[in-house]
Structure 1
Amino acid sequence: MITFGKKALTGITLALGLLSYGSAYAAAGGSIADIKARGVLTVGTEAAYEPYEFIRNDKIVGYGEDILQYMVKKLGVKLNQLNQPFQGLLPGVLARKFDFVATSVGITQERAKKVAFTEPVGEVRSMLVVKKDNAAIKDAADITGRIVGTQMGSLAQPAIEDYNKALKKEGKSGYADLKLYQSYPDVSVALLNGTIQVAVLPSNVLVLEMKQKPDAYRVIGQVGERRLLAWVTNPKDKEVRSFINDTLNEMQANGTLANLQKKWFGETMDLPTKDYLPKGAL
């Protein structure tokens, strides 16, 4: 059984609305020349994925935001950044509501058949977390019969669903329910208030949560493999994707990208620049 939180249902409604009315808002997308002619770069972001992109003092900040500011300066245009629920971002870029999605989206085979991924900007692992004082759940196998929660449409959702299928193949009953939320902060709140018993959180979010609340969480395992994160463009806007990739390579070569990774993560990342897309990707 899968149930949706109230905010998740709002995200579904937004995504459907973008698909229905996208053509009425098709004011973005195209070529780099189009963006420069407009004098504005319009991007879609979900600023709820610290430290990649998040809100601090009413402003969007983070690793991805610093990369974006580098690109805006390079283009010589103004930035129009639309902070929206994750569930509306991919439909939005396909509907040309944005020039591209400047938020960290997991590269999957299903997504790569619909949208065009840039070179990776980061990586993530899906971690199983319980409240620190929950002694009954000791490891990943103990999610059997428990209420689990994660963000709707995230990499963590298929990871926990696949793990649940594996449990059932072993003759176990699997989780009692999977609740889906609009954002990871909502998942953390649900865990701490007892709405769910196990949360599936991305490793980067979890590290920060545990620093801020050292006595709140306990990690019981990981589901799935390491996933690469990238930005997203409309498949028709090949020049926009090339601009992003070229700029990422430039930032890697001049040391800017490594400095930003140290600033936000405390270490550099070993990210591929080729052979990172799944078979059949656009």
Structure 2
Amino acid sequence: MKKIFSMFIILVLSISVLAGCGQGTSESKLTSSSNNSSKENSLDRVKKAGKIIIGIDDTYPPMEFKDKDNKLVGYDIDIANEIGKKLGTKVEFVPTAWDGIFMALQSKKFDVIHSSVSITDERKKTMIFTEPYIYGGNAIFVKADNTTVNSQDDFKGKIIGCQVGTTAQDALSKISGMKEVKKYNGMTEAFLDLKNGRIDAVVSDPQVGDYYIASQKDKFKKIKSLLSQEPIGVAFRKDDTDLRDGYQKAMDELKKDGTLSKLSEKWFGYDIYKENQ
């Protein structure tokens, strides 16, 4: 009787274990299925929201800055607005200090950074990019009457300005002998200090320095030698490949229909796409 009873208990326990295993497998499949189906298409997310939110540094003329009426203008601003039309969404800009802009992207304060972002191997570790839509780099700018700084070899004992958190800062960190590398939150302050003789040179994207030369005639000049030449693209979070691809498609269409060339002539005075062909 005990043997029969024992066998009965074993049988019941076995059925319970098997049932438990079956339930666990079923739940596991449901969870896996749920996880797969919950992965959101980032382009659809933006279209559903009806707007794309773009992080920018609004102290970087002629790429993105505020005009005398405090309106956001610039080359990147115009491109982003045209891309919004292509995607069928509104565009909302979120001005953000450059030294915090990448962290803000990762914390989802906005969908994308369209703000003259140099594409570097280090940045590729945490973000994905469109193809380069322009080539920048780091050029040297000095006062128009400068006679002492003609290349980076003349930086010894000098005060050189750059924007904090940029590839210009990285480039200057590899050069020894300077009295100081003075870091600015925006380029307007850097060129103001250069004009007033508080620093000896500014290292910046050529397009940015060229804007100051054009807008303040006889105040600045560009040294011909470049510290570096860099591709510039639009940055996205690693998972947002669908949004990146949609953005790239719109950018390709703008290049093909001549819009990018017209905007280049508007902001730089020449067609950079024709020169790069």
Q: TM-score range by the shorter chain?
A: 0.7 to 0.9
User: Does the 8 Å CA contact 1:52/1:103 hold for their aligned counterparts?
Assistant: yes
Helix, strand or coil for the counterpart of 1:96?
coil
- Contact kept? 1:93, 1:233, Cα under 8 Å: yes
Higher relative contact order (CA 8 A, sep 6+): 1
After superposition, where does 1:4-153 map in structure 2 within 5 Å? 31-56=42-67, 57-153=69-165
1:160 aligned to which of 169, 172, 175: 172
SS in 1 for 2:133: strand
Equivalents in 2 of 1:250, 1:65: separation in Å?
17
Distance of aligned partners of 1:221 and 1:263 in 2 relative to their CA distance in 1, 3 Å threshold: closer
Question: Could you tell me how far apart the structure 2 residues matched to 1:192 and 1:176 are?
Answer: 19
Task: Please give the per-residue CA displacement for 1:260-279, whole angstroms capped at 9, x wherever unaligned.
Answer: 222222323349xxxxxxxx
CA distance in structure 1 between the aligned counterparts of 2:221 and 2:83, rounded to whole angstroms: 38
Q: Is contact 1:129-1:221 (8 Å) kept?
A: no
Shift of 1:236: 0.7
Say whether residues 1:188 and 2:191 are aligned partners: yes
Shift, 1:91, TM fit: 0.9
Match of 1:231 in 2: 234
Structure with the larger helix share: 2
CA contact (8 A) 1:140 1:221 kept: no
Q: Distance in 2 between matches of 1:137 and 1:207?
A: 18
- Out of 188, 206, 209, the residue aligned to residue 203 of structure 1 is 206
- TM-score, normalised relative to structure 2: 0.78
* Greater CA drift, 151-160 or 70-79: 70-79
Residue number in structure 2 paired with 1:217: 220
Kept in 1: contact 2:128–2:235 (CA 8 A): yes
Flag the 1:254–1:190 CA change in 2: closer, same or farther, 3 A: same
* Structure 1 vs Structure 2 CA RMSD: 2.0
Q: Deviations over 1:100-147 (max 9, x none)?
A: 112110111111111111111212132222223343434432211111
Report the number of matched residues: 234
More off after superposition, 261-270 vs 59-68? 261-270
- Taking structure 1 as the reference length, what is the TM-score of the superposition? 0.76
Unaligned runs of 5+ in 1: 1-28, 166-173, 272-282
Paired position in structure 1 for 2:247: 244
- State the alpha-carbon separation in 2 of the partners of residues 69 and 127 from structure 1: 28
1-structure distance, mates of 2:100, 2:239 = 19
Distance 1:98 1:30 in 2: 16
Work out the CA distance in 2 between the residues paired with 1:264 and 1:132: 22
Closer/same/farther in 2, CA of residues 194 and 49 from structure 1, 3 Å limit: same
SS across alignment from 1:153: coil
Identity %: 29
Shift, 1:151, TM fit: 0.5
- Counterpart contact for 1:127–1:223, Cα < 8 Å: yes
Match in the other structure for 1:7 = none
- 8 Å Cα contact 1:86-1:182 kept in structure 2: yes
Q: 1:261 aligns with which of 246, 264, 272?
A: 264
Structure 2 unaligned regions, length at least 5: 1-39
Counterpart residue number, 2:26:
none
Shift of 1:175: 0.6
Deviation at 1:79, TM superposition (A): 2.3
Cα separation, 1, equivalents of 2:147 and 2:91: 48
